[in-house]
């Protein structure tokens, strides 16, 4: 996040980050010099520094078609109430929350309605949500996510519209002669895919869904942390490399990959599309700059907290 400050046009300082995954914490440390704390539920609110922006995600499996859709009856779903706890105690100027699109329709829409009620009427934040798609922000990945934005004080806010041309897969994928044999699918998997489609001149990514249907697309379906290694295959023959997956999420090649394949795949499946979230944050910061109220407790402008728990799909 600190590394994105120049691109967003503001000065920032991350005063706390939290993640329960050790491998993700190693990645944070190497890339940002940041040592994240562990489980946010075990951090007392008084131990969380004052901040102006809370950026958080809460687990998606309780609300996702990939999970069992238990919602708040699933222990992981209750992380939202940790976000509530922080907002109640610290009262940041704004927050940005992210979750899967399926949250919109979970339990007939009542789950999202409850979340919005808590944020708006119990906590008093001016709050709105939108479904955004990474495809609209230049990435060749169909990744639709609900983003919830809230302001402590009334602010004008307009969602970014995207509309950026999609980067072709040919600029994302590595040349085949640079890809190690490790990434090749088995003969059985390759033959199974070949029954359904043939490779084109331009690269495509073949996606097998839960029903066994195989699609061939000029972009990737959503990268998932816990899916089969073979659910996305380049031209139906090989898995994506770690670097390719990070590129599909919009990470620059300067971003250091320090984990083995499985852990890196887990991290990227839990990540957010960088250009999409940058566009949202830019709009949030523009809104905050229109009328900046006095800062409380002597904290500096631009301090924020980044908090997330793994298990995104």
- Dmax over CA atoms of the chain, in Å, equals 65
Q: Taking all residues of the chain, what is their mean pLDDT, rounded to a whole number?
A: 86
Spatial contact of 174 and 244, defined as CB atoms under 8 Å apart: yes
Q: What is the pLDDT of residue 304?
A: 55
Q: What is the pLDDT of residue 91?
A: 96
Q: What is the pLDDT of residue 312?
A: 32
Record the pTM: 0.85
Q: What is the pLDDT of residue 76?
A: 45
* Whole-angstrom distance, CA of residue 86 vs CA of residue 79: 11
Q: What is the pLDDT of residue 207?
A: 95
Q: Give pLDDT tens digits for 259-291.
A: 999 999 999 999 999 999 999 999 999 999 875
Kindly give, in sequence order, each residue whose CB lies less than 8 Å from that of residue 174, ignoring residues fewer than 6 positions away: 241, 243, 244
> Which residues of the chain fall short of a pLDDT of 50?
1-4, 64-67, 69, 71, 74-77, 308-313
Spatial contact of 266 and 307, defined as CB atoms under 8 Å apart: no
Tokens 């709009």: give the residue: 283
Kindly give, in sequence order, each residue whose CB lies less than 8 Å from that of residue 294, ignoring residues fewer than 6 positions away: none
* 3-class DSSP assignment, residue 57: strand
Tell me, yes or no, if 60 is annotated catalytic: yes
In the chain the beta strands, taken as DSSP E runs, fall at 13-18, 53-57, 94-100, 126-133, 141-142, 144-151, 205-208, 214-217, 220-221, 232-234, 303-308
Q: What is the pLDDT of residue 61?
A: 52
What CATH class is the domain 10-163+266-308? alpha beta
Q: What is the pLDDT of residue 75?
A: 41
Residue length of the chain: 313
Which of these is catalytic: 60, 83, 118, 232?
60
Spatial contact of 185 and 230, defined as CB atoms under 8 Å apart: yes
Per domain, the residue ranges of the chain are 10-163+266-308, 169-253
């Amino acid at each position: 996040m600190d590394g994105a400050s120049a691109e967003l046009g503001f000065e920032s300082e991350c005063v706390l980050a939290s993640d329960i995954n050790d491998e993700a914490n190693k990645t944070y440390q190497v890339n940002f010099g940041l040592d994240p704390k562990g489980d946010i539920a075990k951090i007392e609110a008084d131990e969380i520094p004052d901040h102006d922006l809370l950026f958080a995600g809460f687990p998606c499996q309780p609300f996702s078609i990939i999970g069992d859709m238990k919602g708040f009856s699933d222990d992981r779903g209750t992380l939202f109430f940790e976000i509530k706890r922080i907002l109640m105690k610290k009262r940041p100027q704004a927050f940005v929350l992210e979750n899967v699109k399926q949250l919109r329709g979970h339990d007939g829409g009542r789950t999202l309605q409850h979340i919005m009620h808590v944020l708006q009427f119990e906590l008093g934040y001016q709050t709105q949500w939108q479904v955004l798609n990474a495809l609209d922000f230049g990435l060749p990945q169909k990744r639709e996510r609900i983003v919830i934005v809230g302001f402590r004080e009334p602010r004008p806010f307009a969602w970014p519209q995207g509309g950026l041309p999609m980067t072709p897969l040919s600029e994302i994928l590595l040349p085949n002669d640079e890809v190690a044999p490790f990434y090749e699918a088995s003969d059985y998997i390759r033959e199974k895919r070949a029954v359904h489609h043939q490779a084109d001149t331009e690269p495509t990514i073949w996606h097998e869904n839960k029903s066994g249907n195989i699609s061939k697309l000029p972009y990737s379906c959503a990268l998932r942390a816990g899916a089969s290694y073979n659910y996305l295959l380049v031209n139906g023959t090989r898995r994506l490399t770690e670097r390719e997956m990070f590129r599909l999420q919009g990470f620059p090649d300067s971003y250091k990959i320090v984990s083995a394949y499985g852990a890196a795949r887990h991290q990227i499946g839990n990540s957010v599309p960088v250009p999409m979230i940058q566009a949202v944050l830019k709009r949030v910061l523009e809104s905050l700059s229109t009328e900046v109220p006095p800062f409380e407790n002597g904290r500096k402008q631009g301090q924020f907290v980044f908090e997330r728990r793994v298990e995104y799909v």
